[in-house]
């Protein structure tokens, strides 16, 4: 005779398989396999402390964050800043980063026109959004900056706004990016991608002086 435990385990398995099957039918464009694979891949990769992009950007990020903190601003953890810049610019290779000193995909806005850190010139560039479960390319208008310093300072300002400020009180990069990502990106894998970058490059090492 089957024990109650084995019956319960079989029932649970059937329920899980049913849910997974329903999900794959209802939302085939959301790549669940990639989500799982991405988690596994980063665990298998050795820690990389020699990334050129991070080595060049980290001193500037630490300097700006320390200065903004000294002014009384709440600031994100350096690991979050570095990982977002790494991801948004494809390690500094995007036209937006090279031509517009925009390392975070900040879009042009009326508010930015009044901000001395923002240049009046904007750039139209490809913007990949997840719309109804599908990755879609659209043209968007992005903000440009005279210097990367201006971009970093404006990024900190934006995170101090109502949509993101709650994240800055959190003490771990995972907690911060979980809140920031909700309004920063439409990609359902954005949080996972940022966390994977942080882990692969051991970026939490930069957070010690900001905790």
CA nearest neighbour of 199 among 176, 171, 169, 173: 173
User: In this predicted model, which residue has the larger pLDDT, 22 or 186?
Assistant: 186
Give the pLDDT of residue 43.
55
Distance CA 121, CA 24 (A): 44
How far is the C-alpha of 110 from the C-alpha of 143, rounded, in Å?
10
Q: Which of these ranges, 3-17, 48-62, 101-115, has the smallest mean pLDDT?
A: 3-17
CB-CB neighbours of 56 under 10 Å: 10
Given this model, what pLDDT does residue 172 score? 98
Q: Which pTM was predicted?
A: 0.74
Q: How confident is the model at residue 130 (pLDDT cuts 50, 70, 90)?
A: low
The overall average pLDDT reported for the chain is: 81
| Distance in angstroms (rounded) separating the CA atoms of residues 154 and 109 | 12
Q: Using an 8 Å Cβ cutoff, are 114 and 125 in contact?
A: no
| 44-57 mean pLDDT | 90
SS3 161: coil
């Amino acid at each position: 005779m089957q024990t109650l435990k084995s019956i319960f385990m079989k029932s649970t398995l059937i329920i899980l398989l049913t849910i997974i099957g329903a999900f794959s039918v209802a939302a085939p464009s959301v790549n669940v396999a990639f989500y799982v694979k991405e988690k596994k891949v980063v665990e298998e990769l050795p820690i990389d402390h020699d990334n050129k992009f991070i080595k060049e950007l980290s001193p500037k990020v630490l300097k700006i964050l320390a200065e903004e903190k000294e002014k009384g601003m709440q600031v994100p953890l350096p690991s979050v800043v570095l990982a977002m810049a790494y991801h948004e610019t494809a390690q500094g290779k995007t036209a937006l980063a090279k031509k517009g000193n925009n390392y975070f995909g900040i879009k042009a806005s009326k508010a930015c026109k009044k901000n001395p850190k923002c240049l009046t010139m904007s750039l139209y560039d490809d913007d990949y959004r997840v719309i109804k479960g599908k990755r879609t390319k659209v043209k968007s208008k992005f903000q440009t900056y005279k210097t990367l310093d201006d971009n970093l300072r404006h990024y900190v300002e934006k995170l101090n706004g109502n949509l993101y400020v709650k994240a800055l009180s959190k003490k771990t990069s995972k907690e911060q990016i979980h809140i920031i990502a909700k309004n920063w990106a439409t990609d359902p894998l954005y949080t996972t991608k940022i966390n994977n970058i942080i882990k692969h490059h051991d970026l939490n090492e930069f957070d010690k002086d900001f905790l």
